[in-house]
Chains A and B, each alone.
Chain A
Amino acid sequence: QKEVEQDPGPLSVPEGAIVSLNCTYSNSAFQYFMWYRQYSRKGPELLMYTYSSGNKEDGRFTAQVDKSSKYISLFIRDSQPSDSATYLCAMSPGNNRKLIWGLGTSLAVNP
C-alpha cells in the first residue's frame, strides 16, 4: 500500500461546478498537508497549505484535513476552464525534504 493514495482521474466537469479532490494516507505522523497545481509541462505550484486538522479557505479554494480518517480534500467552487490542470497532494511529518506525494488528479473544466 502506498503512503498516499490519490485517484488519478481524469475528472471532467462543466464550468461553474464544484470540484472535490481527495487523498488518503496511511502515516499518522503526517502533520503538514499541501495541494499543488501542475499545468501541462510546468512545475507544480503551491495552492494550499494546512497544518494538522481543520479547514482553510482561500478564494474559491477550500482545503480540509480529517486526521482521524486520514483523509484530505480540496474543493474548488465556481470552477473555471483555467482550473484545468493536475492537482497533487503532498504531505509531511514536518520537513520539506520528506514530502510524500500523491499521483495527482487530472481535472478538465469544460466551458
Chain B
Amino acid sequence: GAGVSQSPSNKVTEKGKDVELRCDPISGHTALYWYRQRLGQGLEFLIYFQGNSAPDKSGLPSDRFSAERTGESVSTLTIQRTQQEDSAVYLCASSFNAGGTGNTIYFGEGSWLTVV
C-alpha cells in the first residue's frame, strides 16, 4: 500500500480482555517497529522485526505483550489481560531496512487503545 496501515484505529476494551492490533507495512520494507505512546510521554520502543532475523523484543513491557510478523508482511501486536495502564496509542512503523538511521522510518496513524 501507499503507507503503513494500522487497524483498528480505535479500540475500547474491558480490563482483562485480550486485544490484537494489526499493522500492514509499506510493501518492500523489511524492517517493522512497534512503539507505544502514552499520554504525556514519549514514544517507547516495543519490538522490532528485520526480515527473517529473530525479533528484538527488548522493549516489551511484560509477558502480556507479544508480537508476530509473517515474513516481511503483516504484523500483529497482542496484549493479553489488558490493564488500564495499557491505554495508549500503539504506533507501527516500517523502513526499507535498518542498515543505518538514514533509512526513513514511516509511521502509521496508530491504534488508539482505551482500557476501561
Report which A residues bind B (CB closer than 8 A).
4, 6, 8, 32, 34, 41-46, 49, 51, 88, 90, 92, 94-99, 101-104
Contacts and interface: CB of A to CB of B under 8 A. Distances in A.
Contacts of B1: none
Given A34-B101, A103-B42, A97 B110 contact: no
Contacts of A94: 100-101
Contacts, number: 65
Interface of B: 4, 31, 33, 40-43, 45, 48, 56, 91, 93, 95, 98, 100-110, 112
B43 A43 contact: no
A97 B109 contact: no
Contacts of B110: 41-43
A95 B109 contact: no
Nearest to B33: A97
A99 B43 CA distance: 9
Contacts of B103: 96
